[in-house]
Amino acid sequence: PKPLATRVAFVTGAASGIGKAIAARLAAEGACVVVADLDLEKAQAAAAELGGPDVAVGLAANVADEAAVQDALADAVLAFGGVDIVVNNAGLSLSKSLFDTTEADWDLQHDVMAKGSFLVAKNAARILVDQKLGGDIVYISSKNSVFAGPNNIAYSATKADQAHQVRLLAAELGEHGIKVNGINPDGVVRGSGIFASGWGANRAKTYGIEEQDLGAFYAQRTLLKREVLPEHVANAVYALCTPDFSHTTGLHVPVDAGVAQA
Ligand code: NAD
């Protein structure tokens, strides 16, 4: 049997970008996958790419709305009998400087990423605890949770919030055999809806380069001189959910091809 053959994964923001790649990798390893995203049609289309309803279902769920999160998790249990792997991936980036960031910008970033990931983790953890089978919760945080950069104060603050949620949940859920880990990606330009929807243009302007050169620009700043793609983040999520990481919780794994510390 495939390594994740008995497991059900609930992946938020999985209709696009990194989340879509995570859903694909977990499905390829045998998991049944719930693609949860804002738009039902997009979620269903992404699920259909993974296989039939025995393999993947697409659900509409705004992670910032607790009732919607609870409905989606209940539908996941109805579809596949439980939930074992939860990936908090849904997100957006407004990429604004300190003085351009409005109260509404701050609230939106925090509603989706800080509050949204908390609501998903809390309601999913209830199911995991009751199942008594352990499980995995993985947050897709960001390098920006640790390192400061220009023009993303609200985004980075929510990513730091997510990083601390990982530590707090690891402490609270450990006794139930539930591991909680985070991934800190950086520079995933190709395949990312965030970059396509204006963030890329903004970043390129910040660095004084053309938008189409952004992937290569990020790559040459890394220690490994490699471009980070959505599947590299997905590989790390998969690894954390395997028995090879059975004794790892509260960890943040960088998937950024290496950041110079000097
Ligand atoms: P993306 O735009 O391709 O994917 C984000 C997905 O989240 C979209 O499908 C969107 O519809 C969904 N989403 C947004 N708000 C939602 C909500 N309220 N409820 C449910 N779904 C919602 O972007 P991506 O680059 O794949 O980003 C995925 C995650 O990775 C984000 O959390 C992002 O912050 C994080 N991340 C990305 C990078 C990068 O370089 N691209 C780096 C670090 C972290």
| pLDDT value of position 123 | 98
Residue nearest to atom 32 of ligand 1 (CA): 91
* Best probe residue, ligand 1, of 49, 146, 192 (max atoms within 8 Å of C-beta): 192
Question: Measured from the CB, is residue 58 less than 6 Å from ligand 1?
Answer: no
201 and 76 in a single domain? The answer is no
CA of 89 to the centre of ligand 1 (A): 6
Specify whether 180 is located in the same domain as 211.
no
Report yes or no on 3 lying in a domain: no
Would 69 be classed as within a structural domain? yes
Cβ contact 105:94 at 8 Å = yes
Predicted local confidence at residue 262, as pLDDT: 55
Tell me, yes or no, whether 175 and 193 share the same domain: no
Question: CATH no. for residue 121?
Answer: 3.40.50.720
**Strand 56-60 versus strand 32-37 pairing type:** parallel
How many other CB atoms are there within 10 angstroms of residue 222's CB atom?
A: 17
Assess contact for 166 and 252: CB atoms under 8 A. yes
The overall longest dimension of the chain from CA atoms, in Å, is 54
Residue 102 sits in the same domain as residue 126:
yes
pLDDT score for 195: 85
Our answer on whether the CB atom of 256 is closer than 6 Å to any ligand 1 atom is no
Residues 169 and 239 grouped into a single domain = yes
Q: What is the model's pLDDT at position 203?
A: 86
- Pocket lining: 91 vs ligand 1, CB cutoff 6 Å: yes
- Closest protein CA for atom 19 of ligand 1: 62
Per-residue pLDDT in tens (0 to 9) along the chain, 262 residues:
999 999 999 999 999 999 999 999 999 999 999 999 999 999 999 999 999 999 999 999 999 999 999 999 999 999 999 999 999 999 999 988 999 999 999 999 999 999 999 999 999 999 999 999 999 999 999 999 999 888 889 999 999 999 999 999 999 999 999 999 999 999 999 999 988 888 888 889 888 999 999 999 999 999 999 999 999 999 999 999 999 999 999 999 999 999 876 5
Residues 250 and 209 in one domain: no
| Cα 5 to averaged position of ligand 1 atoms, centre (Å) | 26
Provide the annotated active-site residues.
155
DSSP 245: G
* Model pLDDT, residue 175: 98
12, 38, 161, best to mutate for ligand 1 pocket (most atoms within 8 Å of CB): 38
C-alpha of residue 131 to centroid of ligand 1, in Å: 29
Report the pLDDT value the prediction gives residue 92, as an integer from 0 to 100. Answer: 95
**What is the Å distance from ligand 1's center to 112 Cα?**
10
Reduced to 3 states (helix: H, G, I; strand: E, B; else coil), residue 153 is: helix
**pLDDT in the model for residue 259:** 87
Q: Tokens for 62, please give them.
A: 């705004």
In the chain, what is the straight-line distance between the N-terminal and C-terminal CA atoms, in Å?
Answer: 46
Q: Which domain does 208 fall in, by range?
A: 187-227
